Structure 1
Amino acid sequence: LESATMGRSGYTCVRHIFCTLNVLMWLCGCGILGVGIWLRLSYAGYTQLLPKYSMISADSLCIAVGVIIFIVAFFGCCGSWFQSRCMLVTYFSLVIFMFVVEFLFATLAFVFRENLGGTLKEELTEGIKLHYNTSESNSLENIWNHIHKEFHCCGVTNYEDWYLIDAWPGKRNVPASCCLSEFANDTACGYEGNQDMWYTTGCAEQVQMWFVERLHIVGIVGLVVAFIQLFGLISSMLLFCTVRHKRTSHTYKSYDPAT
């Protein structure tokens, strides 16, 4: 009797933790989805940073990740609350699928890490040439202005990336945001011949350095996500097996000839 009571207590504890965790993940998914929609509506120009890869823009990734977390957490929470074996199996399958996709992405990123940087630089440069237009509000201009000011850089590789673009045909100008902070108020700073007033480092290099300096944060987030997924897998199977056992026992007792 005592072991049965402990078993029920353990099952109840795992069920409540699992349900609470998935509610929090569901709210997190809603938040990420909301951020993605906000980025899509407010900063549509981000899709023009990488013309051929607009599907991996910040807003698209946030929307995709938010929807996936929303769906997975929904099945986990409902499966736990209603003790539904079908939902628990669906949750388990979705988490396994996420594990496989994450592993494939990590493997591809590692294998093609040498080519990835060059490809991104080419795409960013192509985006500047094709889509940079100073006459459009909330466009690529605003995004590059923010990048220049935030990372104290100019262009993708260097300021020469801004030469001969459609925004100023035939001129070797740069955006005013490329100007050093001490020349920020000089309206003529971005004009041809004022190279001494511009940032000389490319933004690709600066962003890469910023990312490398925060790899430990990425690692911690990755470990937390992996732990949550592993806990979800184990918990969902424990709950599934317990629910199946309870229903099997109930069915057996219902048809027991001795009763």
Structure 2
Amino acid sequence: MCCVGECIIKYVLLLGNLIFSIVGLVILGLGIAAHVQLQEITDLIPINLSIISIGIIVLGSFVFIIAFLACCGAILKSVWMLITYSICMLIMAGVKIYLAVVMFNFLSDAQATVTGWISNGFNSENPSPAFLGMQTLFSCCGTTGSGSYGPNPLPPSCCPSTDQNQCQAEDAFGGCSDLVASWFTTYGGAVTGILIGVIVFELVFMIFACHVVNTIRNRKYTA
């Protein structure tokens, strides 16, 4: 029999990782479905989108395997499974700490960095398909607005209307630099917050797993 505290830790570890093993399977299924769908349009797209779907499949598989290890380790009282789980959680937490630091450093100077990216990629006379796609995606025009194009005609993506002849300066969207920088700041901050939350979760569950391992070993020595 285990004391109340030990039982709570064990079953929290089991339940939490059971949920994450299911999440891993869902991610794996979504990755497989996306990979199958992308095969139909791969020839039409100049970039290899299958890398994204393969990455999702690998992520889902990894999450499932690690969470399944913890579940089996808690049920079977397997020391090696729980130790392997703890090591993997520590490694993943370390990687996420690195990513959080990188994100924090990026966000501290996001405005200047993104503005530099957009300015370097902008060509008023012959805007690239990628830049035009960004204008469509963010509903923006040029770097600072329609004036970025000078005397050149505005592309259809600068206006709500897709008619080239109807895109006039007074109807054009605002500049892309501030809008895209604001998007990076908002969603980058959200991603950083999520990373910190996941790091805390991983460290707490790693401690739980180590506690269960210590309990199992102590019982073997006192048996």
**Scaled by the length of structure 2, what TM-score is found?**
0.68
2:26 is equivalent to residue 31 of structure 1: yes
Residue of 110, 133, 139 corresponding to 1:144: 133
Unmatched runs of 5 consecutive residues or more in structure 1: 133-139, 164-170, 251-259
Sort the Cα spacing of 1:96 and 1:185 in 2 relative to 1 into closer, same or farther, 3 A: closer
- State the 1:75 CA deviation: 1.9
Cα displacement (A) at 1:93: 0.6
What's the CA shift for 1:29?
A: 2.8
2:158 counterpart of 1:178: yes
Which residue of structure 2 lines up, in the alignment, with residue 101 of structure 1?
Answer: 95
In structure 2, which of residues 197, 201, 214 is the aligned counterpart of residue 241 of structure 1? 214
Shift of 1:20: 0.7
Q: What is the letter of the counterpart of residue 233 of structure 1?
A: M
Q: 1:195 aligns with which of 164, 169, 189?
A: 169
- Contact 2:69–2:81 under 8 Å retained in 1: yes
| Distance in 1 of aligned mates of 2:118 and 2:57 | 25
Unaligned runs of 5+ residues in structure 2 are: none
Number of corresponding residues: 212
Q: Give distance in 2, aligned partners of 1:60 and 1:160.
A: 42
Q: Contact (CA 8 Å) 2:159, 2:171: kept in 1 or not?
A: yes
Task: Provide Cα deviations, 1:16-55, integer angstroms capped at 9, x if missing partner.
Answer: 111110111222233344445555545979995xx9xx89
How far, CA to CA, are the matches of 1:162 and 1:38 in structure 2?
42
Deviations 1:150-207 (A, max 9, x none): x4313577669999xxxxxxx8552x34313xxx2646335xxx333322311x5323
Determine the structure 2 residue equivalent to 1:79: 73
Structure 2 CA distance for aligned equivalents of residues 86 and 28 of structure 1: 24
Tell me the amino acid that sits aligned with residue 196 of structure 1.
E
User: With CA pairs under 8 Å and 6+ residues apart, which has the higher RCO, 1 or 2?
Assistant: 2
**In the TM superposition, what are the counterparts of 1:86-165 in structure 2 within 5 Å?**
86-111=80-105, 114=109, 117=114, 121=118, 129=128, 132=129, 144=133, 148=136, 151-154=138-141
SS at match of 1:199: coil
1:9-48 to structure 2, matched below 5 A, reads: 9-36=4-31, 41=37, 48=47
Residues 249 and 66 of structure 1, relative CA distance in 2, 3 Å threshold:
same
Q: Do the aligned residues in 1 keep the contact of 2:145 with 2:172 (CA within 8 Å)? A: no
State how far apart, in whole Å, the 2-side matches of 1:74 and 1:89 are. 13
1:229 paired to 2:209? no
Structure of higher CA gyration radius: 1
What letter matches 1:29 in structure 2?
G
Q: What is the alpha-carbon distance in structure 2 between the residues aligned to residue 157 and residue 60 of structure 1?
A: 37
Q: Distance in 1 between matches of 2:7 and 2:46?
A: 46
Instruction: Provide the TM-score with structure 1 as the length reference.
Output: 0.60
**AA in 1 matched with 2:159:** C
